[in-house]
């Protein structure tokens, strides 16, 4: 008898959650702009950011000073060029000349192959075999070229593009900073999810308040957690859809490999989606109107882009900014995805960041539930 | 024994320094159509919102269907149909989608759902426009949708906030005959309105003015209790008379309609017709007529200074 009653009220509750879900989906379907944004934002941002950053580190014009000028040195230059990171722009006579060219901005870097290049190569003393003078003013470019210091060079092999490409790939996995697209895509995934999900949910409740729908809604038997859950579920699906779009595009356009476990990656994305939805709902219960909600969402989005390690290396930020970054879900998400996608990190490496996202979601949901009252005042 | 579906005692709502509803006592009997009257801003919507548990109560208390509000507001939601004054359905959903949503959220059994939605669509003359977005409806169509939504789950108690504003006369008559049919079946209805012919038809009325109750009772009681007599002045040129009469201490109001002027004369005046004649002269036909609810309303809401 009693358990029957519980069962009945649980099914009534489920039905109300479903009703809200269906309503949200109907509205989402009618809102062409929002719907288009879900697909268009990932596509445009990925192509825009992914390609601009990517092309920057390819075919960088360099001046070459080949002081050895024999088969060995020519093959080294040839191999480096085959990596497509640099492109020989001119040959110069002296290192001084080359440095002047870099200073004058005529080339982005100068490659100086010393007279004793072969001796350096066959010695075991870790001496650099050649020098690359890089224009450091463009940090992204500089860091990409810096990666060439680990360039695998084997003079016994004739230059074969395929083999070289493979070498680079292997090289990149352990030094992800070298190819920006691989580094950018996981970050973009975070930015796009934050942008769309936080914004959509940030207006979810305040919009109903502003349009007057809330007066009718709260006069029905729907309970606050049911309302919140019903509004969350459709956006979980939406977020996952975006994840799939971004990862597929990343794979298609940038050969984005996923070194680690795809299941783990999806789980992290899911946690991050939840964290953003919780935050969005919290904003929505606190904001005075839709514009206010948008402003609050942007207020979260900006530091997420700037402080999370997406734009600037986390390690290089001042202590204060690092502490601030730690409370942003995005910082943890970027760590997680870069770890899984580029390093093949496993669960034990990631547990801390995953736990943070889970707690962040629970915390924001509790706050959202507390600050939403079924009242008009 | 009379059973009250709404009992308010000293119900008060303050917004900051401003008191929107002040010490309202009100009882609504089961199976009655209870009219809620008052000028704009007199606190009708605010009072109804408190009764629905949508606004915090500043002072006093209210019981709805025997349960204290707001403590038990959730428990009575099932049994109360509320029609908001401001259109509150989803503008980007169709008429049918809105009603289906309400049926689901109010827990109507799945099997009955479609049949019942179709039924109210027919009753409120929405069957032709079930696929139209609610935001595209005309003013009167929106009201009809709201009303259909309020009665959808056949609640015991309806609180209708100006259901007939923007509605054409035929639809209005139709709606009112439905109200009485529902009342006859045991539904209790609290309905706010600005229309005097509607007020005239209610079983009982409560009139608010500036947040306070100024009159309360059946329509007959209210008319009998009216502290004025009504004198009708008929003649060719009554329009000039209104101003000259209203500065009189014994005359509360003079309202023109066509070639007639309705004058409210204090009951203290023994012979109201003679009194008015002494003021206007002999060229008019005068007669004492029965009071109407409009007179009650005017008398009740005029004697306070405008703030
Ligand atoms: N949230 C609020 N904050 C401040 N004042 C409010 C609020 N809601 C209502 N009021 C004020 O309370 C008074 C009563 O408003 P209410 O809407 O109850 O009037 P009403 O009788 O329904 O009027 P109408 O006939 O125009 O619908 C008005 O003066 C209004 O400005
Ligand atoms: Mg009102």
A8 touches B: beta carbon within 8 Å: no
A9 touches B: beta carbon within 8 Å: no
* Boundary-marking domain end, from A173, A206, A222: A173
Banded pLDDT at A312 (limits 50, 70, 90): confident
* Residue range of the domain that includes A159: 60-173
Same domain, B159 and B24: yes
Domain count, chain A: 2
Query: For the segment B168-189, what is each residue's pLDDT rounded down to a tens digit?
Result: 999 999 999 999 999 999 999 9
Give the pLDDT confidence score for residue A152 in this predicted structure: 61
Judged by CB atoms closer than 8 Å, whether chains meet at B88 and A216 is answered as yes
* Boundary-marking domain end, from A104, A139, A173: A173
Could you tell me if residue B307 is inside a domain?
no
ipTM of the shown complex:
0.86
Could you tell me if residue A88 is inside a domain?
yes
Could you tell me if residue A326 is inside a domain?
yes
Could you tell me if residue A87 is inside a domain?
yes
Same domain, A206 and A128: no
Judged by CB atoms closer than 8 Å, whether chains meet at B55 and A223 is answered as no
B292 lines ligand 1 (CB under 6 A): no
C-alpha B60/C-alpha B8 separation (Å) is 8
Could you tell me if residue A24 is inside a domain?
no
Same domain, B214 and B128: yes
Same domain, B236 and B194: no
Could you tell me if residue B143 is inside a domain?
yes
B42 compared with A341, residue with greater pLDDT? B42
In this predicted structure, the answer to whether residue A160 has a pLDDT above a threshold of 60 is no
CATH number at residue A107: 3.40.1710
Same domain, A301 and A368: yes
Same domain, A244 and A259: yes
How many angstroms does the Cα of residue B44 sit away from the middle of ligand 2?
5
* DSSP string over A49-106: HHHHHHHHTSSEEEEEEESS-SHHHHHHHHHHHHTTSEEEEEE-S-HHHHHHHHHHTS
Give the pLDDT confidence score for residue B306 in this predicted structure: 43
Contacts of A278 (CB under 8 A, 6+ apart): A360, A361, A362, A363, A364, A365, A368
Same domain, A140 and A189: no
What Å distances lie between residue B67 and A41, B63, B75, B77, B183, CA to CA? 51, 5, 8, 11, 21
Query: For the segment B26-39, what is each residue's pLDDT rounded down to a tens digit?
Result: 999 999 999 999 99
Same domain, B86 and B213: yes
Query: For the segment A40-69, what is each residue's pLDDT rounded down to a tens digit?
Result: 877 887 777 766 554 445 677 888 888 888
A15 touches B: beta carbon within 8 Å: yes
Same domain, A71 and A220: no
C-alpha A120/C-alpha A123 separation (Å) is 5
Could you tell me if residue A259 is inside a domain?
yes
Same domain, B201 and B242: no
Could you tell me if residue A18 is inside a domain?
no
Q: Which two tokens stand for residue A333?
A: 């998400």
Domain count, chain B: 2
pLDDT mean over A267-293? 93
Give the pLDDT confidence score for residue A164 in this predicted structure: 34
B89 touches A: beta carbon within 8 Å: yes
What percentage of chain B has pLDDT greater than the value 70? 97
Could you tell me if residue B305 is inside a domain?
no
Same domain, A240 and A354: yes
B12 lines ligand 1 (CB under 6 A): no
Query: For the segment B61-100, what is each residue's pLDDT rounded down to a tens digit?
Result: 999 999 998 889 888 898 999 999 999 999 999 999 999 9
Answer for the pair B247, B263: CB distance below 8 angstroms, yes or no.
no
* Boundary-marking domain end, from A121, A147, A173: A173
Which DSSP state fits B88?
A: -
Give the pLDDT confidence score for residue A165 in this predicted structure: 30
Same domain, B203 and B280: no
Could you tell me if residue B201 is inside a domain?
yes
* DSSP string over A132-154: EEE-TTSHHHHHHHHGGGG----
C-alpha B66/C-alpha B89 separation (Å) is 29
Give the pLDDT confidence score for residue A156 in this predicted structure: 56
CB under 8 A, 24+ apart: contacts of A88-93:
A88/A62, A88/A63, A88/A64, A89/A61, A89/A62, A89/A63, A90/A63, A90/A64, A91/A63, A91/A64, A91/A65, A91/A66, A92/A63, A92/A64, A92/A65, A93/A65
Same domain, B41 and B182: yes
Which site among A35, A215, A217, A377 would you substitute to test the B interface, given the most B Cβ atoms closer than 10 Å to its Cβ?
A215
Same domain, A196 and A307: yes
Counting every residue written for chain B, the total comes to: 307
Same domain, A150 and A278: no
Which site among B12, B82, B88 would you substitute to test the A interface, given the most A Cβ atoms closer than 10 Å to its Cβ?
B88
Q: Which two tokens stand for residue A331?
A: 């910082």
Q: Tell whether omega for the bond before B70 is within 30 degrees of 0, i.e. cis.
A: yes
Same domain, A256 and A296: yes
Could you tell me if residue A52 is inside a domain?
no
Q: Which of B54, B78, B92 lies closest to A31 in CB terms?
A: B92
Same domain, B148 and B247: no
Q: Which two tokens stand for residue A61?
A: 């014009």
Same domain, A120 and A186: no
Give the pLDDT confidence score for residue A1 in this predicted structure: 52
Same domain, B8 and B153: yes
Give the pLDDT confidence score for residue A53 in this predicted structure: 52
Q: Which two tokens stand for residue A304?
A: 């997420």
pLDDT mean over B210-226? 92
CATH number at residue B74: 3.40.50.300
Could you tell me if residue B295 is inside a domain?
no
Q: Which of A211, A215, A216 lies closest to B91 in CB terms?
A: A211
In degrees rounded to 5, what are phi and psi of residue B60? 85, -175
In this predicted structure, the answer to whether residue B198 has a pLDDT above a threshold of 80 is yes
Could you tell me if residue A155 is inside a domain?
yes
Mean pLDDT of chain B: 90
* Structure-derived torsion over alpha carbons of residues A157, A159, A162, A167, reported in degrees to the nearest 10: 70
Same domain, B210 and B238: no
Tally of CB atoms within 10 A around A300: 20
CB under 8 A, 24+ apart: contacts of A362-365:
A362/A278, A363/A278, A364/A275, A364/A278, A364/A279, A364/A281, A364/A282, A365/A228, A365/A278, A365/A281, A365/A282
Could you tell me if residue B18 is inside a domain?
yes
C-alpha B255/C-alpha A89 separation (Å) is 97
How many angstroms does the Cα of residue B79 sit away from the middle of ligand 2?
22
Could you tell me if residue B306 is inside a domain?
no
Query: For the segment A173-207, what is each residue's pLDDT rounded down to a tens digit?
Result: 223 344 556 667 788 889 889 988 998 899 889 99
Answer for the pair A120, A128: CB distance below 8 angstroms, yes or no.
yes
B230 compared with A255, residue with greater pLDDT? B230
Same domain, A206 and A323: yes
Same domain, B80 and B159: yes
* Residue range of the domain that includes B114: 4-219
Residues with C-beta atoms within 5 A of ion ligand 2: B 44-45, 85
Same domain, A99 and A194: no
> Which one, of B45, B8, B10, lies nearest residue B28 by Cα?
B8
Q: Is B268 exposed, middle or buried (0-12, 13-18, 19+ CB in 10 A)?
A: exposed
Answer for the pair B135, B124: CB distance below 8 angstroms, yes or no.
no
Judged by CB atoms closer than 8 Å, whether chains meet at B97 and A26 is answered as yes
In this predicted structure, the answer to whether residue A162 has a pLDDT above a threshold of 50 is no
Q: Rounded to 5 degrees, what angle do the CA atoms B88, B94, B99 make?
A: 65
Give the pLDDT confidence score for residue A377 in this predicted structure: 81
Banded pLDDT at A137 (limits 50, 70, 90): low
Answer for the pair A27, A235: CB distance below 8 angstroms, yes or no.
no
Same domain, B201 and B67: yes
Residue of A nearest to B100 (CA): A19
In degrees rounded to 5, what are phi and psi of residue A15? -65, -40
């Amino acid at each position: 008898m009693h358990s029957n009653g519980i069962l009945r009220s649980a099914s009534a509750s489920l039905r109300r959650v479903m009703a809200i879900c269906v309503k949200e989906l109907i509205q989402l379907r009618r809102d062409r702009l929002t719907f288009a944004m879900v697909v268009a934002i990932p596509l445009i941002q990925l192509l825009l950011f992914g390609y601009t950053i990517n092309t920057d580190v390819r075919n960088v014009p360099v001046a070459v000073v080949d002081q050895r000028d024999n088969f060995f040195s020519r093959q080294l230059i040839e191999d480096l060029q085959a990596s497509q990171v640099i492109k020989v722009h001119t040959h110069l006579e002296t290192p001084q000349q080359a440095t002047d060219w870099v200073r004058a901005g005529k080339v982005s870097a100068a490659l100086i192959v010393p007279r004793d290049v072969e001796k350096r190569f066959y010695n075991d003393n870790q001496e650099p075999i050649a020098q690359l003078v890089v224009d450091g003013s463009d940090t992204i470019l500089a860091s990409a070229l810096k990666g060439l210091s680990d360039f695998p060079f084997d003079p016994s092999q004739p230059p074969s593009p395929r083999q070289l490409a493979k070498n680079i790939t292997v090289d990149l996995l352990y030094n992800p900073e070298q190819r920006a697209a691989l580094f950018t895509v996981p970050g973009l995934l975070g930015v796009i999810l934050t942008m769309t999900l936080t914004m959509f949910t940030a207006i979810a409740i305040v919009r109903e308040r502003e349009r007057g729908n809330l007066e009718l809604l709260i006069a029905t038997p729907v309970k606050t957690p049911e309302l919140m859950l019903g509004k969350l579920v459709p956006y979980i699906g939406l977020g996952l859809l975006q994840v799939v779009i971004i990862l597929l595009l990343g794979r298609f356009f940038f050969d984005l490999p996923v070194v680690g476990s795809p299941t783990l990656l999806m789980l992290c994305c899911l946690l991050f989606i939840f964290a953003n939805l919780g935050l969005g709902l919290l904003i929505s219960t606190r904001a005075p109107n839709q514009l206010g909600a948008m402003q609050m969402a942007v207020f979260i989005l900006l530091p997420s882009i700037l402080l999370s390690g997406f734009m600037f290396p986390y390690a290089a930020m001042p202590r204060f900014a690092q502490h601030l970054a730690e409370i942003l879900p995005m910082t943890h998400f970027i760590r997680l995805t870069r770890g899984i996608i580029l390093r093949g990190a496993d669960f034990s490496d990631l547990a801390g960041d995953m736990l943070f996202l889970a707690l962040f979601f629970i915390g924001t949901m509790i706050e959202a539930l507390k600050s939403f009252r079924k009242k008009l005042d | 024994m009379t059973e009250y579906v709404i009992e308010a005692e000293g119900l008060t709502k303050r917004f900051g320094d401003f008191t929107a509803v002040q010490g309202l006592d009100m009882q609504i009997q089961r199976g009655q159509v209870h009219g809620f009257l008052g000028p704009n801003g007199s606190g009708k919507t605010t009072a109804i919102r408190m009764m629905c548990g949508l606004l915090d109560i500043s002072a006093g208390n209210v019981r709805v269907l025997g349960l204290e509000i707001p403590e038990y507001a959730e428990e009575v939601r099932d049994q109360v149909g509320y029609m908001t004054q401001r259109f509150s359905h989803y503008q980007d959903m169709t008429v049918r989608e809105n009603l289906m949503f309400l049926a689901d959220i109010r827990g109507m059994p799945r099997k009955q759902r479609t049949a019942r939605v179709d039924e109210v669509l027919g009753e409120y003359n929405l069957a032709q426009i079930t696929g139209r977005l609610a935001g595209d409806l005309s003013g009167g169509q929106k009201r009809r949708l709201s009303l259909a939504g309020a009665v959808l789950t056949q609640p015991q108690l309806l609180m209708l906030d100006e259901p007939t504003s923007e509605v054409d006369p035929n639809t209005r008559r139709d709606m009112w005959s439905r109200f009485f049919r529902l009342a006859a079946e045991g539904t209790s209805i609290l309905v706010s309105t600005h229309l005097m012919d509607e007020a005239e038809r209610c079983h009982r009325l409560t009139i608010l003015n500036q947040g306070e109750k100024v009159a309360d009772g059946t329509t007959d009681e209210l008319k009998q209790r009216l502290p004025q007599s009504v004198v009708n002045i008929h003649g060719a040129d009554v329009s000039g008379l209104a101003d000259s009469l209203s500065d009189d201490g014994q005359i509360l109001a003079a309202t023109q309609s066509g070639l007639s002027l309705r004058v409210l004369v204090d009951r203290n005046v023994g012979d109201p017709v003679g009194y008015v004649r002494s003021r206007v002269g002999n060229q008019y036909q005068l007669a004492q007529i029965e009071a109407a609810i409009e007179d009650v309303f005017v008398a009740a809401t005029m004697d306070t200074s405008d703030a």
